[in-house]
Amino acid sequence: MRKFSRFVPIKLGLLIVTILLAYMIREHSDFWWLWVLGYLISISMLFRQEHPKSTARNMAEDALHLEMPDHGGEGKSVIVVGGGISGLTAAKYLLKAGCKVKLVEERSIVGGNNDPYLENGEHHSTTVIITLPAQQPHYLQLCREYGLEQTPHEFEDLKGTIAFGDRELNTKMGSGVGGFLKFIYREATMKELFDGFLIFYKFYRQYKLRPESNKSVADVLGKRLANSTVFTHFYMPWVGINTWCRFEDVTTQPAHVFASFIFEYALTLDIRDKTAKYKEDYWSVLDGRLIHKMRDDLLSNDNFSQHLNSKVANVEKDADGQLHVVAESGDRWSCDSVVVATQPAHALPMIDDVAPPILVKELEKWKQMDCYVIFHTDFSDIGNRPWLHVTHKNETTGKNYITNTIKPRMGDLNAKFLITYVYNTENYLDFKANKMDESTIVKLYEPKLPIFNLENSIDRNAVWREIDTECSDVFWTQACRSGLQYHNNGIVSSKRVVRQLLGLDW
Ligand SMILES: Cc1cc2nc3c(=O)[nH]c(=O)nc-3n(C[C@H](O)[C@H](O)[C@H](O)COP(=O)(O)OP(=O)(O)OC[C@H]3O[C@@H](n4cnc5c(N)ncnc54)[C@H](O)[C@@H]3O)c2cc1C
């Protein structure tokens, strides 16, 4: 017999609220029954049990506390390639365990995709804008350890906009499922509402009630819904921009990856870190202070050394089995183990001769996309709003593409800069030429992002546990290994790799 979850009283409470709500709004709207139907469907979804191999379960596993050893690495020398959050985390915990660590980074600063931009001593977010720290417990734990208080975006009372064709769908972000649905209910048509609920339900099922499978976004939605305006002009600019899903990825991005942004971060269903205090459970600024703290902490350790401006070309093993890391400059360093913490496409040519075949095969499954992060001061479209998501038509190719324009600290009405994300070179060129004032661009970042597809993102914890176990001296880690490539994914993956390197399991 199926067991009742301990949330049953809450669910019953919700049911009563729904009935009361129906009673209250019945005279105010022709569509009150649709609103109530949607609410009832949502509640009935909550009654269903989570599948043990679902994405929700993987996310819960990724949030579990991992004890990092303070011994076991004595006498071991390790080279970490790549100084993004993954490489910095690996270096930190290897040092903690007593290893001697050398970090090699090709750029002149560490931070990777989280590029902490400083201007006149003032710090501005660049590529990394938002997170709900309570949903990223490993990230939160590091912030707490370094005494970093969260800085919540103050957008509770401000509506952002999803440009919905020639209308604007104004909604508050971070105001919970109820508030969100209320705004949509008021501003969308009945057909859009119907399609919207259906899409919502299909993604929910894929995220929580089913095992991770090779069903793409398009497979799960079907042709009609995948082409509906509610998907192309609402879900894509809202969710696709955050799961790195361009229109051409709709047939290849697993639906559970797309869905995990909705239910893990946007309309959070389960709080992962139940100890989260005030400010830690709000959408907050991810502004690079963590990178600065980690960098300073590493540099203060006598067992640590770093080589910036050094691009690693290859990792080799000589006839005696000794590992060597070779930089493009010709520098060559020997070590007992290597942790490569770069994007898959950068790691593959470096380690394909020395890594176990199972790892090489997995890395081959990842392709990368061009991402443009425009740091600018063109406020003409966004005005006072904290964020603006838009689906545009490219004037040259005639195809749709999405952008997200955001204030580094959402809610800051006096923000000096804006950030716009746009994917693919042809779309960046179209946006810059036709959708903004190009002369306002202050800085441009061009991060590359690994693309989630149907080969590389299913049952990933089982896959990576097996691969890590096969690795003995050459390891690889990066945020994309564990679902969405957010900070938590980078940190937890590196912790797991460090444990494996020290002879412990995950
Ligand atoms: C536009 C954008 C928005 C984002 N928004 C968020 C967000 O809101 N919240 C969130 O949590 N995350 C966000 N992320 C994701 C987050 O930035 C990444 O998940 C994270 O930075 C990945 O860290 P990493 O260390 O795994 O990889 P990377 O940051 O890619 O670091 C890899 C490092 O390796 C170095 N490297 C590469 N090749 C070599 C070589 N041959 N030799 C030496 N060094 C090399 C690179 O220079 C880089 O420093 C965003 C990313 C982007 C691009």
Task: Tell me the CATH class for 69-113+291-367+452-501.
Answer: alpha beta
Report the pocket of ligand 1 as residue ranges, CB < 6 Å: 81-87, 104-107, 112-114, 127-131, 286, 311-312, 341-343, 346, 371, 373, 421, 447, 449, 478-479, 485-487, 490
User: What's the distance, CA 4 to chain centroid?
Assistant: 33
Q: What is the DSSP string of 22-77?
A: HHHHTTT-TTHHHHHHHHHHHHHHHHSPPPTTSHHHHHHHHTS--PPPSSS-TT-E
Give the closest residue to 467 by CA, choosing from 315, 351, 308: 351
pLDDT for the residue numbered 226: 97
Conformation bin of residue 111: beta by default, left when phi > 0, alpha when psi is -120 to 50: left
Q: What one-letter code names the amino acid at 13?
A: G
**CA–CA separation, 35 and 487 (whole Å):** 36
- Pairing state between β 160-164 and 387-393: parallel
Q: Which residues contact 204 (CB under 8 A, 6 or more apart)?
A: 45, 259, 262, 263
Closest ligand 1 atom to the C-alpha of 311? 42
Q: Where do the H-state alpha helices sit in 155-265?
A: 176-187, 190-204, 217-226, 229-230, 255-260
In the numeric block, the tokens 């090489």 are attached to: 360
Closest ligand 1 atom to the C-alpha of 139? 11
Closest ligand 1 atom to the C-alpha of 107? 47
CA of 83 from ligand 1 middle (Å) equals 9
Q: What one-letter code names the amino acid at 36?
A: V
Please give the helix or strand (H or E) that residue 101 lies within, else none: strand 100-104
Per-position pLDDT tens, the chain of length 506: 344 445 556 656 666 666 666 666 656 566 666 667 766 766 666 666 889 999 999 999 999 999 999 999 999 999 999 999 999 999 999 999 999 999 999 999 898 887 656 666 655 555 556 678 999 999 999 999 999 998 888 776 677 777 776 777 777 665 555 666 666 666 777 788 788 889 988 999 999 999 999 999 999 999 999 999 999 998 999 999 999 999 999 999 999 999 999 999 888 878 899 998 888 988 888 777 888 899 999 999 999 999 999 999 999 999 999 999 999 999 999 999 999 999 999 999 999 999 999 999 999 999 999 999 998 999 999 988 888 999 999 999 999 999 999 887 766 767 888 999 999 999 999 999 999 999 999 989 898 899 999 999 999 999 999 999 999 999 999 999 987 888 899 999 999 999 999 999 98
Which residue among 81, 113, 423 has the greatest number of ligand 1 atoms within 8 angstroms of its CB, and so is best to mutate?
113
Other CB atoms within 10 Å distance of the CB of residue 443: 15
Residue 446, burial from CB neighbour count under 10 angstroms (0-12, 13-18, 19+): exposed
- Pairing state between β 77-81 and 100-104: parallel
pTM over 0.85: yes
What φ, ψ does residue 210 adopt, rounded to 5°?
A: -125, 155
Structure tokens at 33: 């029954």
pLDDT for the residue numbered 168: 76
CA-to-CA separations, 172 to 132, 177, 232, in angstroms, rounded:
15, 10, 20
**CA–CA separation, 103 and 82 (whole Å):** 7
Closest ligand 1 atom to the C-alpha of 421? 1
Please give the helix or strand (H or E) that residue 325 lies within, else none: strand 323-327
CA of 454 from ligand 1 middle (Å) equals 22
Which residue among 62, 105, 128, 410 has the greatest number of ligand 1 atoms within 8 angstroms of its CB, and so is best to mutate?
128
Structure tokens at 90: 């690996």
Which residue among 131, 342, 366 has the greatest number of ligand 1 atoms within 8 angstroms of its CB, and so is best to mutate?
342
**CA–CA separation, 324 and 336 (whole Å):** 9
CA of 263 from ligand 1 middle (Å) equals 23
Give the closest residue to 178 by CA, choosing from 31, 28, 30, 17: 17
Orientation angle between helical segments 32-47 and 8-25, nearest 10 degrees: 180
**CA–CA separation, 110 and 309 (whole Å):** 10
CA of 490 from ligand 1 middle (Å) equals 9
CA of 385 from ligand 1 middle (Å) equals 28
| Cα end-to-end distance, the chain, whole Å | 33
Please give the helix or strand (H or E) that residue 171 lies within, else none: strand 167-171
Query: Is 86 in contact with 494 (CB distance < 8 Å)?
Result: yes
Q: What is the CA radius of gyration of the chain?
A: 23
Closest ligand 1 atom to the C-alpha of 494? 26
**151, β-bridge pairs:** none
- State the chain's maximal CA–CA distance in angstroms: 82
Q: What is the DSSP string of 384-436?
A: T-SEEEEEEE-TTT--EEEEEEE-SSTT-TT-S-EEEEEESHHHHHHIIIIIS
Query: Is 423 in contact with 369 (CB distance < 8 Å)?
Result: yes
pLDDT for the residue numbered 302: 98
Closest ligand 1 atom to the C-alpha of 89? 25
In the numeric block, the tokens 């991770």 are attached to: 212
CA of 219 from ligand 1 middle (Å) equals 30
CA of 372 from ligand 1 middle (Å) equals 13
